[in-house]
């Protein structure tokens, strides 16, 4: 080992080494790179979609607007804010990729939208590195939601954006090695994989072995996070297991130790490698709901309740009194089943369309309560999904929009008064279309 903790590689062979053994190791490493590349591409496709969809819901060209990303430096008095250095450097690199894109779908979107690509197309022409760096430029809440979607969480249950960014960087390094025909087996990678907060605080966690120095910068660590991430989006996927089976088979045939790739003692008994193991799919469902419905955090939802009734004593006008009233108001809405709540990890979110004029819209609360009672003790995420689906599904019996299109209850609510909304919903018995 050298001073940096790396193994010294010699240019001599052990006595008795045969050329066919060297060729076997070379062939194994080549096939391993191919299989790893396929795994990384599988994950990359999902990441492109999730980032593009999340940012695209805010602005078609969110990636070109640092003010949308929150990538602006604090301004000096009398001066306009300027993009951060990180964003400026990212944009230069991204524009290199965009300028080289000549695919048919790219030409189509340029014809429709102009010289620049909308975000959901832009993600398709980004390298994995550019894509992962865009993640670090996204607003903090969006980073946390995306991390929580993949169940990479902090100790308090929120998305661990730092650990997730680290994982993406580690996978970027491996992808680059594979793309440039570098050696993968028996390699110490430059990026040390972080254990998320939830892992560091739970010695029984699936990924607790990431805390081992012999794992966190070796292939076993990479395979562990790939298995975890892919399971979070495809619960029945066994592609990582197939790669592990390939490695273990080759170890016996070629003659190398799994420990050289970071496999710890007893790794095969870990639950992560059980073909029957599944991650809870609720996190992916909840994150999908947050993509469908722009939502407040708990703090934002409380702050939106500016019409909350405060106590009538002398402290009634104090900020503390109003904050207490807002907390009470939110709890009351939730207690009576009036408010749609989306739980992602331990973070709670509330679709914004439910609020207006400093309070929850009464008609919305009444309908949510009615539909919640219909659901009769349904699982919380499934109930939230059913409620949001009802609110966002066009109903042909409701009044149409100005262009003659059927409107959903949520769209109707945005175009008419609350009394007109109630009358339209009751007239056609719109709540009868609710299903769970």
Residues 267 and 339 occupy one common structural domain:
no
Q: In terms of pLDDT, which residue wins out, 304 or 11?
A: 304
Q: What percent of the chain has pLDDT over 70?
A: 93
Residues 142 and 236 occupy one common structural domain:
yes
Let me know if 136 is exposed, middle or buried by CB neighbors in 10 A (0-12, 13-18, 19+). Answer: middle
Burial annotation 214-225 (CB, 10 A radius, 16+ → b, else e): ebbbbbbbbbbb
Residues 288 and 260 occupy one common structural domain:
no
* pLDDT tens readout for residues 233-250: 999 999 999 999 999 999
Report CA 223 to chain centroid distance, whole Å.
19
Helix boundaries (H) for 154-196: 161-179
Residues 306 and 407 occupy one common structural domain:
yes
Residues 263 and 288 occupy one common structural domain:
no
From CA 207, how far away is CA 407, in angstroms rounded? 46
Tokens of 189: 């990678």
Position 3 confidence tier, pLDDT thresholds 50, 70, 90 = low
The answer, yes or no, to whether residue 123 has pLDDT greater than 80, is: yes
The answer, yes or no, to whether residue 79 has pLDDT greater than 90, is: no
Residues 330 and 294 occupy one common structural domain:
yes
* pLDDT tens readout for residues 34-56: 999 999 999 999 999 999 999 99
145, 344 contact by CB (below 8 A):
yes
Residue 208 lies in a domain: yes
Position 227 confidence tier, pLDDT thresholds 50, 70, 90 = very high
Question: At which of 228, 245, 273 does a domain end?
Answer: 273
Residue 8 lies in a domain: no
From CA 215, how far away is CA 35, in angstroms rounded? 20
From CA 410, how far away is CA 22, in angstroms rounded? 65
Residues 317 and 192 occupy one common structural domain:
no
Number of domains in the chain: 2
* pLDDT tens readout for residues 314-362: 455 677 888 899 999 999 999 999 999 999 988 999 999 999 999 999 9
Residue 4 lies in a domain: no
Question: At which of 245, 273, 301 does a domain end?
Answer: 273
Residues 429 and 363 occupy one common structural domain:
yes
Full domain range(s) for residue 235: 19-273
Burial annotation 385-411 (CB, 10 A radius, 16+ → b, else e): bbbbbbbeeebeebbeeeeeeebbbbb
From CA 351, how far away is CA 295, in angstroms rounded? 4
Residue 2 lies in a domain: no
Residue 41 lies in a domain: yes
Residue 302 lies in a domain: yes
Residues 46 and 188 occupy one common structural domain:
yes
Position 377 confidence tier, pLDDT thresholds 50, 70, 90 = confident
Question: At which of 238, 273, 308 does a domain end?
Answer: 273
Residues 313 and 198 occupy one common structural domain:
no
Question: Can you tell me whether residue 222 is helix, strand or coil?
Answer: helix
């Amino acid at each position: 080992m050298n001073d940096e903790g790396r193994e010294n590689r010699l240019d001599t062979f052990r006595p008795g080494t045969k050329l066919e053994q060297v060729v076997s190791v070379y062939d194994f490493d080549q096939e391993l790179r191919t299989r790893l590349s396929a795994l990384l591409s599988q994950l990359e496709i999902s990441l492109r979609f999730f980032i593009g969809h999340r940012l695209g819901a805010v602005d078609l060209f969110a990636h070109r607007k640092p003010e949308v990303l929150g990538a602006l430096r604090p301004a000096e008095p009398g001066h306009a804010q300027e993009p951060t250095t990180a964003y400026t450097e990212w944009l230069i690199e991204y524009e290199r990729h965009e300028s080289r894109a000549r695919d048919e779908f790219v030409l189509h979107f340029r014809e429709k939208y102009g010289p620049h690509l909308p975000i959901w197309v832009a993600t398709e022409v980004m390298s994995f590195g550019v894509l992962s760096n865009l993640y670090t430029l996204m607003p903090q809440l969006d980073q946390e939601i995306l991390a929580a979607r993949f169940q990479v969480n902090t100790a308090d249950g929120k998305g661990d954006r730092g650990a997730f960014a680290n994982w993406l960087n580690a996978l970027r390094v491996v992808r680059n090695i594979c793309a440039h025909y570098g050696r993968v087996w028996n390699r110490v990678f430059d990026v040390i994989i972080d254990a998320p907060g939830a892992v560091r605080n739970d010695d029984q966690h699936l990924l607790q072995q990431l805390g081992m120095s012999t794992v966190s910068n070796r292939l076993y660590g990479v395979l562990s996070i790939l298995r975890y991430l892919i399971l979070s989006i495809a619960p029945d996927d066994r592609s990582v297991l197939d790669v592990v089976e390939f490695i273990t088979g080759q170890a016996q045939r070629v003659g190398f130790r799994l420990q050289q790739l970071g496999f710890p003692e007893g790794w095969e008994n870990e639950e992560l490698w059980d073909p029957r193991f599944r991650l809870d799919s609720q996190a992916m469902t909840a994150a999908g709901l947050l993509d469908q419905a722009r939502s407040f955090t708990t703090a934002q939802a409380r702050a939106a309740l500016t019409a909350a009734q405060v106590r009538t004593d002398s402290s009634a006008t104090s900020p503390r009194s109003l904050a207490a009233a807002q907390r009470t108001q939110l709890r009351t809405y939730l207690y009576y089943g009036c408010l749609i709540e989306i739980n992602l990890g331990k973070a709670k979110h509330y679709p914004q369309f439910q609020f207006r004029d400093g309070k929850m819209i009464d008609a919305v609360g009444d309908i949510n309560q009615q539909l919640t009672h219909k659901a009769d003790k349904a699982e919380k995420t499934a109930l939230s999904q059913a409620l949001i689906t009802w609110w966002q599904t066009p109903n042909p019996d409701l009044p149409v929009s100005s262009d003659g299109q059927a409107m959903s209850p949520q769209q109707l609510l945005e175009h008419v008064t609350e009394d007109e909304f109630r009358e339209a919903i009751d007239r056609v018995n719109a709540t009868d279309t609710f299903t769970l």
